[in-house]
Structure 1
Amino acid sequence: MSVFVWIAADTVTTLTVVHAQPVGRNLAAGGLYPNSKIQKRLFDKRQMATLRLTSVVGIGHAEDPNPRFRKQMEDVCVMIDKLGNSHSTGFFAIYDGHGGQEAARIAGDNLHRYLLEDLLNQKLEHLLEADPLANQSMSQPAGPQAGSKLSPDGHSVGGNPPGGSKDSQLNSAISSGVRTGTFSKDKIPPSGKARVPVPPNEPSKLGTIIRKAIQRTDDVLRQKNVLYVGCTALIALVTKYTIEFASVGDSRAVISINGTAYRCTEDHKASDKQEIDRIKSLGGTVIFGRVNGFISVSRALGDHCIKNLVTCDPFLRSYPRYPAPDSVGVTANSTNELDEFIIMACDGVWDVVTDQQSVDTVRKCLKETGSPQKAAFELKNLAIRSGTQDNVSVLVLLLREISKWI
Structure 2
Amino acid sequence: MVLMHTSPHPQPYRRTIFAALMEVVKIYLIVVPAGFVLAIVFWIIGLGSQLPYSAIPEWAFALWATVSGLSVSTLGFDFSLAPSLVTLGLWFLVATGAKRVACGTAVDCQTDSDEDPGGWWALMGAALGTFVVAYAGPLLVLALVVGQAAVTPLGFLRLFLFLVTAVAWALIRVRGIGDIPGLSLISDETWRVVAGLARRLLWAAVVLGAIVLVVGIVIRWGDVGDTLQVYSSPVAAGTGLIVVQALFAPSIFFSALSWIAGTGVSIGDAGMSSAFRSTSAPVPDVHVLQLLSGDYPAWTAAAPALLVLLGLLCVILGRDRAREIVAESWTGLAVAIAIVFITFEVLALFAGGAMGPLGLSWFGPSALTSALVVTAWIGVGTAAGLLLIRLSGLHSEFADDDEDDVFDENEPEPIGDDIVNEDEPR
What's the TM-score once normalised by structure 1's chain length? 0.27
More helix by share: 2
What's the TM-score once normalised by structure 2's chain length? 0.27
More strand by share: 1
Q: Find the structure with the greater CA-based Rg.
A: 2
**Which structure is richer in relative contact order (CA contacts within 8 A, separation 6 or more)?**
1
